Chain A
Amino acid sequence: MNQSPVPKRTALQWLSKQGYRFAPALFFISLIILWELICRLGQVPQYILPSPSAIVEAFFNVEFSRWMTHLWATLRVALMGFGLSILISLPLSIGMIRSELLNRTLYPALIVIQSTPVVAVAPLIIVLMGTDDPSRVLITCLITFFPLVVSTTTGMLETPPELIELSQSLRAPRYRETWQIRIPYAIPHIFSGLRVSITLAIIGAVVAEFVAAEQGLGYFIQFSTSFFKIPQAFAGLIFLSAISLLLFKSVQWLQLWLFPWSLPKKK
């Protein structure tokens, strides 16, 4: 019995399968190694491009409790701003779907708000509302709420018209039409909006911290740069990106947990 080609093929298959599985991680690791090599062999000064090892060192040079203080300051504002934008966006979208007048009146205003650069408005908000959390939460909310309004409205508009007609022929009240037909249809769209918004919430909190803050990861990055501690600023930046990524994934997990049916079916 000559069985030798079979295990060879399975080993190759296994390797290619693992390669496919770990391709993103391998690519990422190679990139970091390349970055480290460029910095070391090219003797690039730290203030121009810090090496990954210098960034890791800078990360551990900052006390864990300080990281947590800054993280909590940013996360608190980001989540409050995100929460506020959900509270505003969902009723607003429902109102705009149900009333053509409201839609005509508010939509241009929403476009104006969205096209106004929040970075330019942020200092004015701070002057008007003070330097505490409320102004930072408002700045975050202004950045995050638009994608949510658009995705929720689009989702509700995509409800099959025959279902709406059916509910109307059965004389279902409007609230049932909204909650039991339109909203479920909009769930995938709402979660797409939430995923975009949660990453924008972190950006919003950082923008607010750049304008006025005594704590937070944005403040920490700005502060490190002002002292030319570039590896420390990079450490803050990478930490911030990791948190943003984690929040993005959390929204996905939430969708999987609450509305598994709304996810596209895996092949």
Chain B
Amino acid sequence: MKKLNRLSMIIMALAMTGSAFAADKVTFQLDWLPGGDKAPVYVGIQEGFFAALDLEVKIASGRGSTDAVTKLATGQSDVGSSDIGALMAARAQDNVPVSAVMSYFTEAPHAFYVLADSGINSIKDLQGKKIATSPFTSSNAFLPLVLKQNNVPVDSIKLSKVDPGALGPMLMVGNTQAIIAWVTNTALFEQQAAQTGKEIKVLPWSEGGLSLYSSALLASDKFLASRPDVAKRFIKAYAKSIQFTYQHPDKAGQDLHKMVPEVDADIVAAQITSIHNLVFNKISQHDGFGMLTPKRIAATWKYVAEANNLSLDSLDPETVVNRAFIPSHD
């Protein structure tokens, strides 16, 4: 009996030491493949921001915003970055157990790209032009709205949907006069244009009147309810990682390259620099970094509802947000 007691004490002691040293595991869901805008989570791991708060983060790549929201809703991931508009649309149609906990892009990343010598200088000049886009981008839903805001009749443009990889080449060889892509691609398109001795011009939709939240930190409601302390620590470390990423784009590029060797560190650094304004801008200065204000949430929902043909009262946009975890909220 004594032996048995001693054995059980040893087992208990081992189990306790185990739990004392085991970091809390968190699965982070990306909405696409690794790239510059996805760098913060890699930076958090490489710079030890997560480990410092006793967190072990695993990253899962995604295939679009809807895919990321689905994986969060089904509990395959705990927290992730995705378009808040996709979450709103999903919540309006189904009670998806996912909430937005912190803003990331406070401006829309959608943009038109044209050749510098095309004579197209603003969105207004796109009337009657050929435009190519990829089939599943969230930009497509907002296209009619941005065209309307710039007095371009939607039926005046000739829209074609092609594989994302074909967009750049189509623009460079003149098969289309404009393409639609996120501003995160600027560095890559510039590289392609340079190969043919051409220059490109970016026409961001945020400058064309489309003012809304875009990429945000989302979390599964189950994760927030069952492990609130872990969630709080994660979001705190993630916010620190975002700050570090945009302050040190070169280091962030190296951190991402260390974990995903196929990615060039300098391309990532260029991508981060090109999207700095989506994260740190007048809105983040005015409202505070990471905040999700009721006014802008309502404005975002208005755009999302219109873009997805949903009635405004099909969702109270405030129910999508959980502000209890924003670091500066403490």
Residue from B76, B164, B165, B188 within 8 A of A130 (CB atoms): B76
Number of chain A interface residues as a range: 20 to 34
Binds B, one of A23-31, A177-185, A217-225: A217-225
For B274, the chain A residues whose CB sits under 8 A away are none
- Indicate if the CB atoms of B188 and A228 lie closer than 8 Å: yes
Chain A, 219-261, contact with B by CB distance < 8 Å: what is the 0/1 string?
1101111111010100000000000000000000000000000
Residue from B32, B60, B165, B173 within 8 A of A131 (CB atoms): B60
For A211, the chain B residues whose CB sits under 8 A away are 63
Residue from A62, A127, A210, A230 within 8 A of B262 (CB atoms): A62
Number of interface residues of B (CB under 8 A): 29
Shortest Cβ distance from B267 into chain A, in angstroms?
7
Q: Does B67 contact A (CB under 8 A)?
A: yes
Interchain Cβ contacts within 8 Å, total number: 63
* B57-75 interface (Cβ within 8 A of A): 59-61, 63, 67, 70-71, 74
Q: In the complex, given contacts A226-B33, A227-B188, what are 12 additional A-B residue pairs having Cβ atoms less than 8 angstroms apart?
A: A45-B192, A47-B168, A47-B169, A47-B192, A48-B169, A127-B70, A127-B76, A131-B60, A211-B63, A214-B59, A226-B35, A230-B165
Q: Does A123 contact B (CB under 8 A)?
A: yes
Q: Does A212 contact B (CB under 8 A)?
A: yes
Query: 9 closest A-B pairs (Cβ-Cβ)?
Result: A225-B165, A45-B195, A228-B188, A226-B33, A47-B169, A48-B169, A223-B33, A47-B192, A45-B196
A223–B61 Cα distance when bound, in Å, is 11
For A62, the chain B residues whose CB sits under 8 A away are 262
For B168, the chain A residues whose CB sits under 8 A away are 47, 228
Given contacts A47-B168, A127-B70, A212-B63, contact A224 B196 (CB under 8 A): no
Shortest Cβ distance from B41 into chain A, in angstroms?
13
A220–B263 Cα distance when bound, in Å, is 11
- Indicate if the CB atoms of B33 and A127 lie closer than 8 Å: no
A62–B260 Cα distance when bound, in Å, is 12
- Indicate if the CB atoms of B35 and A47 lie closer than 8 Å: no
